[in-house]
Every structure is written in structure tokens, then in C-alpha cells.
Amino acid sequence: MNHHPQNWHRPRDDVYGAYDHSYLQTTGPKQHTQSPAVTGTSVIGVKFKDGVVIAADNLASYGSLARFENVHRLLPFNNQTIVGFGGDVSDMQALTRTLQALYTRENYSHSPSSPDSVHLTAHNLHTYLQKVLYNRRSKLDPLWNVILIAGFDGKQKPYLASVDLLGTSFTSPTLATGFGAHLAQPILRRKVSDEKDAENLTKEEAVELVKECMKVLFYRDARSTDKYSIAVVTKDGGVDLKEDEKLEAQSWSFAEGIKGYGTQTV
């Protein structure tokens, strides 16, 4: 007897003959993803005077279920560029394969030891991803992601940019996706409101600022977790990526002062 799950509830071939697939409809309309199933939440980025800091937690949620707790959503592209993905995890994996193929072609086309070789900068990668996402959007089959690109531009200045599933792209000294656009951006902009503030921000201050945002998101975003990845991109140190960081000094003591949930006592 055939016990394969794909054959359950089907008549047995040895009794009733082979299954007739001609009854199946094969001429229906082409279908695309209408809503993501497994998603990642916020990605946070901020520029400082010598580079960029970017972070994202390691949780991938299946709807409202915190399903996968070890999904790394920061992808180094080369020694001066890193990409952070928010949104659908399967589309993130597809884009990861695309970027890995691009990186391989880049290395074959240009010798790393040649002083005249030209490599893709963060600005170049941002433009490339904008074209990819806009192309899929134009086919009514978008990649359900919001992406942050952190690194350096052609003038070796810190570069931080965003592109979403519609191909909309822009740059800013501080960026956040998902709930971070509502909860983390006010914290980031309080410290870094423009490019001038970013030029006066040190690496240590930028890292602490991003960690503060990750803590707020853990407390206030139901799709977030206390394990996260954080990367610091600098000209001298390249991409310094740490993938299994954990929030420190957690405390829910502030919850006692929150009114409006559960039974209230005066």
C-alpha cells in the first residue's frame, strides 16, 4: 500500500487504475502572492561620522505566531556594504540568491588585487535593488520586502538608503522599517535629525542608539524578540557583523504604571 501523504484519500492504483489527471484544470489564471506568510519585522539603520550601524532581530513570524527564532536578516554583500531585509522571508531568500549571484559575477569581472578594479558600492547596490523591485511590481508580482542598504557611496561617504516592494527608494541619515518606522524613528531623530547631526555622531553613540531602539521594539512590538543581529560598517574595519546578540538589562517593571489593560484598580 502506498503511504505517501500526497496519495492519501486517492483511489488505489492497483485496484482502480492510475489517477486520471486530465480532469484537473490547467488553463486558469496565473496566481501571485497576495499576502506574505512568514515575515520579519523592523530593520533599524543610522549613519555616524565614520560609517553606518544597522540592526534587525532574528525572529520570523508565521502570522501572529513567533515561529522561527534564528532567522538572520542582515546580509553582507562585500567588505563595505550590508543589506537588511524586512517583510516576507521567502522573498528575502530569493533576493539573497540574486545578490549572491551578482557578487560572484562581480568578483569574476574584477580582480580584488587590481588597483584599477571598480566594485559595486552601497549606492550602486541600492540602484540595482530599486530596479529589481520595480520590475517585479510592474509585473503585478512584487517581492514583499522593505530593504535597507548600508555602506559607502562612490565618494567613500557613509550611505544609508531604503527601497520597498513598489520600488520606492530614498536615502536618510536614519531609517527604520515595519513598526520601527513608528516606534524607533522618533528615538533616532531625537539624536540625529539631519546629516549634520550624523557627522557629529560617534560610533559608540550610534551603537547605543540602535540598541535602545531594539529594546523599545522588543517591549512594544509583538512580532519582535530579544535576540538580534547588529552590524557596524566602517571604511577601515569593513563590515563587523554580530548575529546572536541579546538585549541587556531587560525589565518589565514599567508595566505596573501602564493603564488601560486588564482589571484596573484605583
Nearest Cα residue to 191 out of 175, 206, 169: 206
3-state secondary structure 164-218: CCCCCEEECCEEECCCHHHHCHHHHHHHCCCHHHHHCCCHHHHHHHHHHHHHHHH
Q: Which residues contact 227 (CB under 8 A, 6 or more apart)?
A: 57, 58, 59, 69, 70, 244, 245, 246
pLDDT at 255: 72
Tell me the H-state helices in 47-173.
Answer: 89-109, 122-138
10-residue block means of pLDDT along the chain (266 residues)?
59 74 64 82 95 96 90 93 95 94 83 62 95 94 95 94 95 95 94 94 95 92 91 92 88 73 60
Q: Is the dihedral of CA 184, 190, 192, 195 positive or negative?
A: positive
Grouping H, G, I as helix, E, B as strand and the rest as coil, residue 122 is: helix
pLDDT at 204: 95
pLDDT at 169: 95
Strand partners, 53: 46, 232
pLDDT at 26: 62
Take residue 137 and report the three cell numbers written for it.
511590481
Q: How far apart are CA 1 and CA 11, in angstroms?
A: 11
138-141: long-range contacts at Cβ-Cβ below 8 A with a sequence spacing of 24 or more? Answer: 140/32, 141/32, 141/33
Distance of CA 46 to the CA centre of its chain: 15
Q: Which residue has the cell 567588505?
A: 79
Q: How far apart are CA 231 and CA 241, in angstroms?
A: 4
pLDDT at 237: 87
Region label for 193, one of left (φ > 0), alpha (ψ between -120 and 50) or beta (otherwise) = alpha
Say if residues 240 and 74 touch (Cβ distance below 8 Å): no
Catalytic residue status for 225: no
Catalytic residue among 26, 33, 168, 177: 33
User: Rounded to whole angstroms, what are the CA distances from 236 to 50, 145, 151, 156, 246?
Assistant: 9, 30, 12, 11, 26
pLDDT at 223: 86
* Other residues' Cβ atoms within 10 Å of the Cβ of residue 254: 8
Nearest Cα residue to 245 out of 219, 208, 198: 208
* pTM listed for this prediction: 0.81
pLDDT at 262: 60
